[in-house]
Amino acid sequence: MLNGTVKSLNTEVEGVHILNLTSKRGTITDSYGRFSIGVISKDTLLFSSVQLKHKYLVVTEDILSSNHLRIDLEELINELKEVVVRPYNLTGILDKDISALRLSKNVDASSLGLPNADVRVLSQYERKLFEADNGKFVNLYGHYFGLGISINLHKILNRASGRTKKLKKLVEQNEQTIKLEEFEYLFNDSLRLQELKIPFSKKEQFFVYCLADSNFVDLIEAEDHLGILELIKKKSKIFISENRRQPF
């Protein structure tokens, strides 16, 4: 774990994003600009914030051996020559202005009325599972000489060899991974580990613990960020209580 502090002369250093571009893991600074992130030699770190200039840092052996790393970020100043606000009949009263505005619909496949616009795109494993287990085991069909029978050997062989079962498990694991990634993104953007008192080493375990709750999964799929935040707070207290006997 690499520990460090982000510093800036005149700008707030709380909530600065630190992303390990190599491992695709990230964290954010606390109210004092402190952070902790897992790294190995030659990893590339990106420090970013809306009000600060981005900074890239390649992890060297000297950085790994240091007890504490200090990162100085420069303030980002955006200067605009001219700003034109349209429409011109805005009053400044949000409720009134929003109701008066006529916003166009988002241009997407659904709004354009394209065929199959609402059909969900299957993942790689879902497509393989469909190909391996599609259709009935036995099909009856009629022809000139009477009734015929067709046996789906492809489906039978996939079931017998265990390939269908393996693909179903891969689909389930893939769905779990996607939900976990969505949760990690929302978690890191909306709440700091320090506020929940969840140790960084227990982060993955806490994610899996929350995903075991079907209500939590529903909130993620509905993108109910406020509901997710409230449930995370409740879950963190129970998680800490249940793991109290186990040293963090």
Residue 242 has pLDDT above 50, yes or no: yes
pLDDT for residue 71 = 92
User: Pick the residue with more confidence: 108 or 232?
Assistant: 232
Whole-angstrom distance, CA of residue 136 vs CA of residue 124: 22
pLDDT for residue 34 = 92
**The model scores a pTM over 0.75:** no
DSSP state of 10: S
Residue 39 has pLDDT above 90, yes or no: yes
Helices (H) and strands (E) in the chain, counts: 9, 9
Cβ(44)–Cβ(25) under 8 Å?
A: no
pLDDT for residue 209 = 80
Residue 189 has pLDDT above 60, yes or no: no
Residues of the chain with pLDDT > 70: what percent? 64
Whole-angstrom distance, CA of residue 52 vs CA of residue 73: 6
pLDDT for residue 190 = 44
Q: How confident is the model at residue 93 (pLDDT cuts 50, 70, 90)?
A: low
pLDDT in tens, 205-228: 777 787 777 787 777 777 677 777
Q: What is the DSSP string of 13-74?
A: -TT-EEEETTTTEEEE--TTSEEEE---TT-EEEEEETTEEEEEEE--HHHHH-S-EEEE-P
